[in-house]
Structures are given as structure tokens and as C-alpha cells.
Amino acid sequence: MMFDFHMVVCVKIVPKPEEVRVDRESRRLDRANARSEINPPDMNALELALDLKDRTGGRISLLSMGPPFFEMYLRVGLAMGADHVYLLSDRAFGGADTLATTYVLAQSIRKIEDVDLVLCGEESSDGATGQVPAGLAEWLDLPQITLVNRVDLNLEDGLVRARRSLPGGHEIVTAPLPALLAVKTAANEPRFMDFRRRPWAMADGRVTIWDRKALAADPALCGSPGSPTAVSGLEQARVRERKRLFLQGEVDELAAQLAAILEANRS
Amino acid sequence: MTMVHSRYGVEAARPEIWVYLEREPAGGLAAVSLELLSKARELADEAGWPAAGLLFGEAVEGLAEEAIAHGADRLMISQHPELATFRIESYAATAYAALMAFRPSIFLVGATPDGRDLAGRLAVRLRTGLNADCSDLRLDLERGVLISEVSGFGGGVLALIEMAHHRPQMATVRPGVFTVTPADPTRRGEVVPVDYQPGTESWRTTVVEHMIGERLDLTQTPILVAGGRGIDGQFAMLQELADLLGGDVGATRPPVDEGFIERERQIGQTGIVCRPKVAIACGISGAFHFLVGIQEAEIVIAINSDPNAPIFDSADYCVLADVHQIVPALTAILRAGARPGKQTLVAAGDPQVPAGREGKRRRGDDV
Ligand SMILES: Cc1cc2nc3c(=O)[nH]c(=O)nc-3n(C[C@H](O)[C@H](O)[C@H](O)COP(=O)(O)OP(=O)(O)OC[C@H]3O[C@@H](n4cnc5c(N)ncnc54)[C@H](O)[C@@H]3O)c2cc1C
Ligand SMILES: Nc1ncnc2c1ncn2[C@@H]1O[C@H](COP(=O)(O)O)[C@@H](O)[C@H]1O
């Protein structure tokens, strides 16, 4: 079992936040010129898997639902040490909320079959909220351990032992394999691409693309039809009116005025 | 067009608002649960619906009074040794059974580690929607539809999200977003037991170690000293100021991502929402994602060297200067305990050179 230990890392491709511009007038997003990257928290999930692979052996597949252009960014993961990419691409997957996203990811994990450990990032940086891991675990009826920053396997007993980073401390939890882990953002320092793997990763590295039919996914559960939530409106955020008083003077005078303001408002 | 159906639908749902009640390690109800109860009470009053709390534990009926005083008309309670501490399998199973039995229209959960685990799992089990990390909740009274307000990826836009055809309407809200209305000890309510069926789960997680010390709670800090990219990682300088003021240090996302400070101190949309008396923004440009975290501050002071920094539009007191000069000068004045107004006598000469760059710290090695 040890050498065939199969980890699937769920990876989303997101626009680089520093390249997304907000249009000052419309306050809408301009992603047109933004380059993308692997969702940074998913790099932590991948690094955790790579570290397990280094220590225990096994292999790593990357799994991502998104448009075909994701492929070039996913290959970076191959160059880091992953073995295979599964990209789930179909117009029918568009407009998915958490329920529909997790359904499609779950269908593909069922199709991959021999999965021992599923790893996710803590949340996707483009505005989502970390609800995919728990939802995915539910579709697959797997135990879930979230906010994980360290993992050990006990293959004899078929257990994963994970350390969770929680507000004010930590917890250690064990769960039977197969299981799903969501990795705490910044839990580790993701490695760089391995330059020796790079040519293989960019050209020959195996990328399997599955559409809805390949997954035998129920159209009623995919994309918009599979998504209970809908945006019903957009509103300008309320901004609280502030005084906007510019303090005047040299450094010492400015500091003194601040001290006075703080003194007056401390309690 | 066929679409996904929730386990119970609009017709079967009852006009009730439920709140999942989380417990503090010390025993009381978690602040976020009281915040949600207060909001649920407000919405329930508008609609003329009852509000209920859902509470699990071993012997927790003592908390009924607190829940009812904070707005619950009913406490749904499940007590069993298996429920003494949160385990996703037993809590999800019990919550699912209770929701299926009583079919509330709305179910609210705190966006805490346990709350997120539970809500994410339950939403799929119920085949319903989940609006996560909402910044406000409203009720469309005519349709009985919950409107969740979520801040979008881009700055300044709020998305209103609803689910018209699925029940329960689930939403999570982070601690600090809503305020707790004062307890009303004269309120009356009933306690309704909910079944726990042992051994229905197909797997079992085990907590083998649980070490939680004092929690950093920036949501309650009176004075927030927040640092951005402009402070070049010198959080020690801000900590000194915060200590003198009896406050805490927070940060924008970039210094957190760069490992200068723990993620627990990130302020903003994907961090903490706090409501201090005074927030001091040091070397922060004023991105909307950050501003939502200090929106409720009574007073905002901004120190920035760029006259066009957007933070100045959202500050009460604007200081156009180098933060590396202002903060040490301010700290020196406060340390000397100088009376305001006599400052020029105190802080003449060069401001102190700030301490060296704080070593890079990575999150993940807490405790
Ligand atoms: C989905 C999403 C969620 C996000 N969530 C958050 C969040 O929760 N919290 C958050 O903070 N950000 C969040 N961000 C990032 C956010 O959009 C901004 O990028 C970030 O807040 C900017 O941080 P900053 O102001 O520290 O850095 P910058 O924008 O780089 O600003 C640095 C400022 O420092 C000033 N400065 C430089 N040197 C000095 C000096 N010597 N003295 C005085 N001033 C100086 C500069 O003039 C500048 O205004 C999120 C982004 C996305 C896409
Ligand atoms: N489209 C997707 N494809 C693959 N994995 C995803 C996708 N969306 C979310 N995830 C995974 O779920 C985690 C949490 O995402 P979210 O719930 O969107 O914040 C991410 O860190 C990824 O590991």
C-alpha cells in the first residue's frame, strides 16, 4: 500500500491579486490583464503532499475545475513534483457555487478511484470562503480535518494524524484513511519548481481533461442548475463618513497632536 | 430546466430562524453565537417569526437562560456524552436530524473553525446553498427570502446573494460583524430536546491532543495599531506603541503573506473585523478589503507618506509623513507621559531610529 499511496490535491487557479485593478468609477473588477497563478493556499496543500511523498513515497495528482487555460498554470505543479493533472472543464460547469463545485470535484475523485488522501487549501484567494473542503468531504463521505499544518501517516492502522492550528493553540486529530485534509494557509514554505522536471512538466507531463460526460455528472447538479445561490443584486459598499482632517506641522508637532488625540479618545 | 432540489423545499419549510450555538471552552455561549442570536431576533421581530438556538453538549441546559435572554424563543438542545466536544461526524449528524425534523427556513452559523466545518458539510447533506462570511443579513418579508450581503472580490462592491428555491437558507457570519444586544432576563422561552442517535456515522475522528491557551481576540481590542506594507515589517515598533496605548497590533494582508506577522492579526475582509475606539493605520494604502475591517472604528488615524493614498479618504485624522519617524516620536511622547500641548519640549531632536527589521516569522509553528 505504501508505494501506491495516492494523494489528490485540489487546486484552483486565481488571478494574481496585485494585477487585478478595481475601476475607480464603476468600482468593478478589471481582470482582463491580470495573470493567474495557483491559489497560494493550495501551494501549501501541495507542499504538504510533496513533503509526505518525500517521506513516505506515493504519488500526487492535481485536480482542478475550471476553463482550459488553467492547464498552463497547473503544469507548474507538475514541475514542483506532482505526477498527474486532472482538469475538469466543461461549459456546463460554469456558474458553480460551492454545492456544484464540490459535486463535480467529488465525481472526478470517484472516477480516479484509488484515492487515499484528498488535500485542499484553506480558501481560494479570489473571494471564496473555504467551504469547498467540508462540502467535498461530505459528497465523498470522508472524514475531514481542516486548518492542518502538519501530517503523519500511520499506514499500518490506516490512519492519518494531523495537527490543526487553531486560534490560541493547536489540536491533534486522527482519522481513518481515506480522508480529506484542508491545509492551513502559510503552514509551510512551498518549494520552487524543480528545473530538471520543468521540460517534462511543460511538454509531456500528463494532463487529463474531463468534461461532464466523462464524469457521468448529472447536469442538474453541475454549474448554474446545481447552484442554489444566485447573486440578486450589487450595491455600493457603505462607506462611513470620516472627518478627513489633515494635521499640520513637523514630525514632532504631528506626533504631539496625535498624542493629544489619543489621550482624548482612549477610554 | 431541472435543477438541484434541497432535502426539504420552500413549501415544507417553517417560518423560523435558527442559530447554531457554539460554546466557549470556559462554558458560556460564544460571542459570535450571541451576535447571531441578536441579529436573528431582529429579523424574527420584523417578520413575526420565532427564533431558535441549536445547542449540543453533555450537560448544557444551564445555557438555556443565556440563549433565551439574548433572543431565542426556543432552545433546541441535544445532550449526550458523545456530544461533549465538537466532532464533525456527531455534530453534523445531530444537526442534520434536527433540521430535517423541524425544517426551519433559515439556519445561521458562526464562521469559526467548528462552524465552518459544520456548515460546509451540512449544506451539502441538505443540498442547499451556503452564503459564507456575510457582512449583513436582511429578510425579504414578502417572499420570506434571506438576502445575504457579501463583499465582492473587488473593492467597494457588495453582492446580494439569495436562494429562492432551497431550504434551509444557510449563512455564516464571522465574529465581530454583528453587535450583541443586551440580555433581557425577563424574556421567556421553551427548551425542546433533540435526539442524538449514537453510532450512525461511518467513520470516526479522534482528538488525541487539544491545547488551546489564551486566544487572541482582536475583535474586542479598544485600540488597534495596524501596519501595512509601508512599515517594512517593523511590527516591533507598532507593538511598542500598542502596548503604551493598551491596544493590539494588526496588519494588512501583504505583511502577513510575507511572514512578518501571524495571520491571526490580519484585519479586513479575509481577516478580522474589529470595532475599536481608535484605529491607527500605519503605512496602509486603504484598499477596500482592508477598510471593511475598521469600518466600525469610532476614530481612524492614518499615517501615510503618499498624499494620494486612498486611506486619507477614510480617516478622521490624516498624517502625511513617514511612519518610521512619526511612530517613534509618538511613542517617545507617550512614554514620557507628556501632557498634550507641551510636546515640543519633549520630543526635540531626531526621532529614534526604529529597531531593526523583525525576523521573518512564519505561521505554522504556533505554541
Ligand atoms: C479577495 C481578496 C481579499 C483580501 N483581503 C484582505 C484583507 O482581509 N485584509 C487586507 O489588508 N488586505 C486584503 N486584501 C489585499 C488588499 O486588496 C490590498 O492589497 C492590501 O490591503 C494592501 O495592503 P497595504 O495597504 O499594506 O499595502 P500597499 O497597498 O502596498 O500600501 C502601502 C502603503 O504604505 C505607504 N507607505 C510606504 N512607505 C511609507 C512610509 N515610510 N511611511 C508612511 N507610509 C508609507 C504607501 O504610500 C502605501 O500607501 C485582499 C485582496 C483580495 C483580492
Ligand atoms: N475550482 C476548483 N478546483 C479545484 N479545487 C478547488 C476549486 N475551488 C476550490 N477548490 C479547493 O477548495 C479550497 C477552498 O476553496 P474555497 O472554498 O473556494 O475557498 C481551495 O483552496 C482548493 O483547494
ipTM: 0.91
Closest atom of ligand 1 relative to the B268 alpha carbon: 8
Residue among B207, B320, B329 whose CB faces A252 most closely? B329
The DSSP letter of residue A203 is I
* CB-based contact B248:B223 (threshold 8 Å): yes
User: Any residues with CB less than 8 A from the CB of A152 and at least 6 apart, and which?
Assistant: A160, A161, A162
pLDDT over 70 (residue A241): yes
* Least confident segment among A203-212, B308-317, B357-366: B357-366
- Please report residues of B whose CB lies closer than 8 A to that of A188: 364
First to last CA, chain B: 53
Amino acid sitting at position B167: R
pLDDT, tens digit, for every residue of B88-118? 999 999 999 999 999 999 999 999 999 999 9
Kindly indicate the confidence band of residue A6, based on its pLDDT and cuts at 50, 70 and 90: very high
- Please report residues of A whose CB lies closer than 8 A to that of B152: 29, 127, 234
User: What pLDDT shows up at residue B365?
Assistant: 37
Q: Give the CB-side neighbour count of residue B244, counting CA atoms within 13 A.
A: 21
Average pLDDT of the residues in B162-179 = 95
pLDDT, tens digit, for every residue of B179-209? 999 999 999 999 999 988 877 788 999 999 9
Cα A15 to ligand 2 centre (Å): 14
Please report, rounded to a whole number, the percentage of residues in chain B having pLDDT higher than 90.
77
Closest atom of ligand 2 relative to the A88 alpha carbon: 3
User: What pLDDT shows up at residue A257?
Assistant: 96
Average pLDDT of the residues in B207-222 = 89
pLDDT over 80 (residue B347): no
Beta bridge partners of B148: B137, B161
Closest atom of ligand 2 relative to the A39 alpha carbon: 21
pLDDT, tens digit, for every residue of B269-306? 888 989 899 999 999 999 988 998 998 899 999 999 99
pLDDT, tens digit, for every residue of B150-160? 876 656 678 89
pTM confidence score = 0.88
Cα B267 to ligand 1 centre (Å): 11
Average pLDDT of the residues in B196-224 = 88
- Please report residues of A whose CB lies closer than 8 A to that of B85: none
Please report, rounded to a whole number, the percentage of residues in chain A having pLDDT higher than 70.
93
* CB-based contact B319:B307 (threshold 8 Å): no
Q: Please give all residues whose beta carbon lies within 6 A of any atom in ligand 1, as ranges.
A: A 17, 125-127; B 153, 228-230, 252-254, 266-271, 283-285, 287, 289-290, 303-306, 309, 322-324
Average pLDDT of the residues in B11-25 = 96
Q: DSSP alpha helices (H): ranges in A84-146?
A: 98-112, 132-140
* CB-based contact B363:A187 (threshold 8 Å): yes
User: What pLDDT shows up at residue A128?
Assistant: 72
User: What pLDDT shows up at residue A25?
Assistant: 58
Q: What is the mean pLDDT of chain B?
A: 89
Cα B15 to ligand 1 centre (Å): 43
Residue nearest atom 7 in ligand 2 by C-alpha distance: A12
- The cell numbers describing A30, all together, are 478589471
Cβ–Cβ pairs < 8 A, chains A and B: 317
Minimal-distance CA residue of chain B relative to A141: B202
Q: What is the Cα–Cα distance from B354 to A192, expressed in whole angstroms?
A: 34
pLDDT over 90 (residue B333): yes
Q: Is B205 an 8 Å CB contact of chain A? A: yes
User: What pLDDT shows up at residue A171?
Assistant: 95
Q: Is B141 an 8 Å CB contact of chain A? A: no
